[in-house]
Amino acid sequence: MESGQQELQKDNSMPDWSAYRGVLIIVEQRDGAAKPVSWQLLGEGRKLAAKLDAPLMALVMGEDVAHLAEEAVHYGADRVYLCEAPELRAYRTRPYSRVCLKLIAEAKPEIVLFGATATGRDLAGAIATHLPTGLTADTTELDVEPPPSRLLLASRPAFSEKMMATILCKQYRPQMATARAGVFQALPKDTTRRADIVRIESTMREEEIAAEVVDFLRDSGGVQLEEADVIVAGGRGLGGKEAFALLQELADALGGVVGASRAAVDAGWIKHEHQIGQTGATVRPKLYVAVGISGAVQHTVGMSGADTVVAINKDEKAPIFQFAHYGIVGDLFKIVPAITQEVRQRRSVFGVPLGVRETAAAQAQAEAEEAAGAVTEAEAPAEVETAASGPVSAAERGRRDE
């Protein structure tokens, strides 16, 4: 056994795991760029480590990825283990899991977290088969019991997503979990932070690895919801797949992507990869425009982390308005084209450079907020009923409801 783990004690009492301390985040990268979930897990790991009064560690693996070790420090790691080797250039299960197992045996973290991505799931599963410990997959909430128990409370939807289950791993260490992208929040990047970066060796030689990565073919049609700064999402209110063209136009004007509720996906109007919510993606964009979506809890769990939510719905009592910073009550078929036109016009006047992601997203957010205001205040067609005379903040909405 590669880990040197202890056997479960026969009297079922807790083994002595005092040598296992700290939280280890496995940083996922592709072509030298980290997946955002890695920094989100460092943000959450920071909280867990503080409660345990233990170090927050990160493991960076790849070829020419030393810059990511620095970045991991900037995002909160107290110590980063860096393993650079040619055989780690592209992800493959065996060499990556070998490095992880070696580090787990030596550094003895009490908690190890991976992103619940295709790679993270593969790696975590492979490691779990070598260690006599459990793995909680696809968690959406993480917490720890304070010392002395130091137990990881890993929660995830269960029983057809109807309830949350909190899963404990009492008898073994490390406690391991994969966690969904977009659920947790990364700490602000602090480039002044300094911490130890410890180099470790990859012990696997190329001839020992059965799999060879010949090439990566990118699926150009796929939508990257988790990484999008702007999402325009449509629901059953769209009434058919044709109306998604309207949303695509608005998304294009804002430099964003199109998302959907499950109702729209189940109706066959758009592919499942666009679905947001409990059984879809969890997103954390700067701007989320919900169009013809009622705001069922299974949808809002996937988008409530958005910085700004604009909701367009003809029913002023739709629950989505409880989550919206700006609400527009009216017919989406009139409002969406009006906002698209407004955004395009402002872009052509101000010449906003598309493609500069951060700038464009921030600008887009400001424009959509202004455009929402413009529609409700001035340019809304006469038939459009508006909930209010202008953009309604969540706080203001609460006051008006009272």
Ligand X SMILES: Cc1cc2nc3c(=O)[nH]c(=O)nc-3n(C[C@H](O)[C@H](O)[C@H](O)COP(=O)(O)OP(=O)(O)OC[C@H]3O[C@@H](n4cnc5c(N)ncnc54)[C@H](O)[C@@H]3O)c2cc1C
Known binding-site positions: 236, 261-262, 275-279, 292-299, 313
DSSP-based three-state secondary structure for 227: helix
Q: Binding residue for ligand X (CB under 6 A) from 74, 173, 299, 325? A: 299
For ligand X, the binding residues in 158-187 under the rule CB under 6 A are: 160-161
Residue 236 binds ligand X, judged by CB under 6 A:
yes
Asked if 246 is part of the footprint of ligand X (rule: CB under 6 A), the reply reads: no
Burial of residue 322 (CB within 10 Å: 0-12, 13-18, 19+) is middle
What's the min distance (Å) between Cβ of 226 and ligand X?
14
Provide the β-strand partners of residue 370.
none
Among 115, 120, 182, 277, binds ligand X (CB under 6 A): 277
Residue from 136, 101, 96 nearest 119 by CA: 96
CB of 119 to ligand X, least distance (A): 23
Near ligand X by CB under 6 A: residue from 49, 100, 318, 361: 318
Rounded to the nearest 5 degrees, what angle is found at the Cα of 131, between the Cα atoms of 125 and 133? 85
Question: Given the complex with ligand X, which of 313 and 365 has the nearer CB atom?
Answer: 313
- How many whole angstroms separate alpha carbon 235 and alpha carbon 258? 11
Strands 141-144 and 33-34: unpaired
Choose one: 124-132, 181-189, 308-316, 377-385; the region binding ligand X (CB under 6 A). Answer: 308-316
156 binds ligand X (CB under 6 A): no
| Residue 261 sits in the site that holds ligand X (CB under 6 A) | yes
The single residue among 35, 47, 74, 262 that binds ligand X, judged by CB under 6 A, is 262
Rounded Cα gap, residues 226 and 37, in angstroms: 9
Instruction: Please identify, using beta-carbon distances, which residue of 42 and 270 lies nearer to ligand X.
Output: 270
End-to-end CA distance of the chain: give it in Å, rounded.
63
**Exposed, middle or buried by CB within 10 Å (0-12, 13-18, 19+), for 283?**
buried
- Count, residues near ligand X per rule CB under 6 A: 30
What single string gives the DSSP state of each residue in 111-178?
Answer: EEEEESSHHHHHHHHHHHHHTTS-EEEEESEEEEPPTTT--EEEEEEETTTTEEEEE---SSSSEEEE
CA dist 275 → 159, 215, 257, 267, 271 (Å)? 20, 29, 12, 12, 8
Query: What residue type is 243 in one-letter code?
Result: A
Q: How far is the CB of 307 from ligand X (least distance, A)?
A: 20
Nearer to ligand X, 112 or 243 (CB): 243
Q: Does 280 bind ligand X (CB under 6 A)?
A: yes
Q: Smallest distance, Å, CB 269 to ligand X?
A: 10
If the CB atoms of residues 163 and 217 are measured against ligand X, the closer one turns out to be: 163
What is the rounded distance in angstroms from the CA atom of residue 70 to the CA atom of residue 370? 38
235 binds ligand X (CB under 6 A): yes
Nearer to ligand X, 161 or 377 (CB): 161
Judged by the rule CB under 6 A, the positions of this chain that interact with ligand X are: 160-161, 235-237, 261-264, 275-280, 292-294, 296, 298-299, 302, 312-315, 318, 331-333
